Amino acid sequence: MPHSLTRVQRVHNPKYQPSGPKSYVFLLNKYNFAPTKPGPYFQGGKVQQKGKHGLGRLFGGKAQVQKVLQKRNATDGQPGDVPAEDQQNDSQYLCTVTIGTPPQTFKLDFDTGSADLWVWSTELPKSTSTSGHNVFDPKKSSTFKKTVGSTWKISYGDGSNASGDVGTDNVNVGGLVIQKQSIELAKSLSAQFSSGVGDGLLGLAYGSINTVTPKPVATPVENMIAQTDIPKTSELFTAYLGSYKDKNDPDHGASFYTFGYLDEKALNGQTPYYTPIDNSKGFWQFKSTTASVGSKKIQRAGNTAIADTGTTLALVDDNLCKAIYDAIPGSKYDDQQQGYLIPSDITVDQLPVVSFDVGGKEFAVQKEDLTFADAGDGFTYGGIQSRGNLPFDILGDTWLKGIYAV
């Protein structure tokens, strides 16, 4: 291992307040899928006008119906917009990265489910409060260069978005300096993006889903691989997602990423298991054709899954969801919270071992991660929920905490 490469510590955000429904709404927005289980949130149609229309423009207008996430009013059942406070807008864990010369420090959410590296910047309007955030100032970096004509925009299913312009600069991730890395500077942030404590996001997915136009830019990992200081045998990154709640475990709840090397201590003498990745959709996607719930093996012909470090929950198909919660005494589905709940007083020995296939070998969810957040009235929101009409599983932190992902 090159001596300059170190672990990128994943630090727990002390202000993070876990909420099952808010985390689920975040995923409905991020992946723009329609729920298939009952609840207040659904995917509806919203008319958007384009072209010449309105007062004095009687001809040439064009109306399009766009699918958007909506919420039923609890009183009369009428559809409406999803309030910003209904979504989990904060990150549970953040990583330190420096950008520019001299280096400016930021706490970013590392996300294998997206491919943009964006940060809060001095280009944000004065009306956007930057209190508590590190804000990138391109004028203070001698190595920053603006990419003329390039812009970026991340849009979610409820219409929320973040956008701005683009430049290049040096980025230090775990001791590895990526030169001339494209940085997306936030110029506009809707409430859903601006209410968390993080300073932006570092996407670890494939560059094909990068949002920069007119031409997508290479991601940090792609540029790391292009640099000659990473050996050909170490064109990789790893994720070891412990929990701050596991401070009494042998690893003391360590949580980190590495870039350009395998952490031998995390491997603990084991040989890594590899499976082919399908990156055609831009994700870390693999075959996942079986699952186990206790002693019951469930066949899932043709099923695939993606690994997403930017997701707190795990989402699977409705049949598998039902099989999991049927095996948990006292669990139930709650329409109001649009999710499965588990009795808070349940003991670990009452929980089944749940495992998911990764290209022919199953890896289990840690039992304590089957529960996610307090749901009130003596129940806890489950860590595994419905993927709705998505054609693949999303295996987030609920599952990733039980493995060392390479």
Q: At a CB cut-off of 8 Å and minimum separation 6, what does 154 contact? A: 114, 116, 118, 161, 162, 163, 193, 211
The number of beta carbons lying within 10 Å of the beta carbon of residue 5 is 18
Read off the tokens for 295.
């002693």
* Nearest residue to 110 (alpha-carbon basis) of 226, 7, 213: 7
E strands, 144-197, in order: 145-155, 161-173, 176-189
* Nearest residue to 172 (alpha-carbon basis) of 131, 143, 147: 143
Residue with tokens 């859903």: 192
Q: Which listed residue (308, 317, 334, 357) is catalytic? A: 308
Q: Is 111 a catalytic residue?
A: yes
Residue 208, SS3? helix
CB 68 within 8 A of CB 173: no
How far apart, in Å, are the Cα atoms of 191 and each of 87, 222, 346? 10, 31, 37
**CA-CA distance, 132 to 128, in Å (whole number)?**
12
**CA-CA distance, 353 to 369, in Å (whole number)?**
11
Strand order in the sheet with 332-334: 332-334, 339-343, 379-382, 371-376
Q: At a CB cut-off of 8 Å and minimum separation 6, what does 141 contact? A: 99, 100, 101, 102, 104, 169
What dihedral do alpha carbons 73, 77, 79, 80 form, nearest 10°?
A: -10
Read off the tokens for 252.
């003391």
**CA-CA distance, 84 to 14, in Å (whole number)?**
21
Q: Which listed residue (90, 111, 169, 263) is catalytic? A: 111
Read off the tokens for 64.
């399009």
End-to-end Cα separation, the chain, in angstroms: 16
Which residues have a catalytic role annotated?
A: 111, 308
